[in-house]
Structures are given as structure tokens and as C-alpha cells.
Amino acid sequence: MPYEIRKMTFPSASGGLLLEGKMAWDPGNLPAPGIVVCHPHPLYGGSMENNVVSALFDSFARAGYVVLAFHFRGVGRSQGRYGEGEGERADVAGAIDFLGKRQETSGSGLALWGYSFGAWVGLRAAVGDGRIRCLGAVAPPLSLYSFDFAWSCPFPVYVLSGDRDPFCPVDSRESFLSNLGAGGSWQILPGADHFFWGFEEEIGRFAVEVSSRHLPARGVEG
């Protein structure tokens, strides 16, 4: 489906900081469900222009969703500086609130997808938000951060990882899924490492397919 992209500025939920973002939507397909996409670690080159973030952003936009990607504090033109995870968690909360109040979504429900560090802070911010219908984590860094906050999540969590990723070991799959209170799934991409170069199409396809189970969009084929 055709879509428009516009630059956006919105406030973080703390610190009075303004964050740089971009939104995409099909003006002939509104209101539509909203998707927030969170980028990887700011101190290691993470930005909303990352290949995985771009794959998610473009795939959801083509499928008819209203999509928001943004820069965490201190990245690009976003104000502030790295917030040790807590500041970025507030940034995600601000993004969810901003998208949830837009007329383009108009109460149609939201989902959140994060990649690597973005999965950790994104899921932490979204897990208690009643507007969220499902969560997605691409290469969640289970070897670096605790994800036990997800066990009490009231909606499904979907994971996508590569089998060559030391930060998201596939042997964690069974225990992770068994602890999820509302279920979910974990798909493994053979041959992919933590950076997913060459796997962008598969990432977008998986994310749209599982999200559409909870947030149907007009551009998603049944």
C-alpha cells in the first residue's frame, strides 16, 4: 500500500526532552492501528535508520499501519544524552503516548517492536500499558539484560532471533516462552547473527504476520 512519511517531534515522558521521530501512514486508510519501533543501543551506533528498524518501519507502513520510529535521547536531533536505560524507557513511554493520542490511530490499538537494546527498554516501558495489544522483540539481548519483567505481561510477546547470535542464545527459547504469562512465539532465522544483514525481508514479514493476529490492518492479506 502507498504511504506517506513525515518528520515528527514529541516529548519524552521525563526530563522535558524533545525527541526526533518519523511517522508513516496511508492517508486513505485511517484510522489504523499504530506500531512503535525502538532502535538498538545509542552508544553503539543505534538509530532509527538501522537496517532492522527500517525493515520493520517499511513493512508495517506497507501493510497499512501507522508507524512511529524515533531517536532515543542524545541520538540524531533528539535532545539530552544517554540515560542508562531508564531515560530511554521514558522516551518509549513518550512515544507510545504520542502515537496513541494521534487522530491517525484514534483508539485502534497499538503494538511495539524493539530491536536489541530497543527490545529491552521498549518492552519494559510497554508491558503495563493497556493500549498495547502485543509486543515484538528482535534479537532481545538476553545474555546482557534481565527480561523477567515480561513474565507478567498481559499480552503476547513475539521473538525473532538468529541462530548465530551470542547475545540472544537460542537455548534460552524454551525457558523464555514457558515463563510468558500470555504466551507468544520465538522464530529462529538460520544463518542470521545479531545484525541480520540480508534478512530484512524475513524480519518484516514475521513482524507483520504475528502483529496482525491482534491488530488487523487493511493492507494485511488474510
Bridging pattern class, strands 184-189 and 110-115: unpaired
pTM over 0.85, yes/no: yes
Nearest 10 degrees: Cα torsion 194, 198, 199, 201: 150
pLDDT at 221: 63
Q: 6 has which bridge partners?
A: 23
Q: What is the pLDDT of residues 8-66, one digit of tens each?
A: 999 999 989 999 999 999 999 999 999 999 999 999 999 999 999 999 999 999 999 99
Q: Can you tell me whether residue 162 is helix, strand or coil?
A: strand
Residue corresponding to grid cell 544524552 = 81
Query: What backbone phi and psi angles, to 5 degrees, belong to 73?
Result: -50, 135
Is 218 a residue whose pLDDT tops 90? no
Which cell is 111 given?
Answer: 503494538
In the predicted structure, residue 86 carries a pLDDT above the cut 60: yes
Predicted pLDDT at 209: 98
Dist CA 97 CA 214 (whole Å): 19
CATH assignment of 4-211, given 3.40.50.1170, 3.30.360.10, 3.40.47.10, 3.40.50.1820? 3.40.50.1820
> Is the pLDDT reported for residue 219 higher than 90?
no
Q: Note the pLDDT of residue 56.
A: 99
User: Could you tell me the residue ranges of all domains in the chain?
Assistant: 4-211
State pLDDT tens for residues 121-178: 999 999 999 999 999 999 999 999 999 999 999 999 999 999 999 999 999 999 999 9
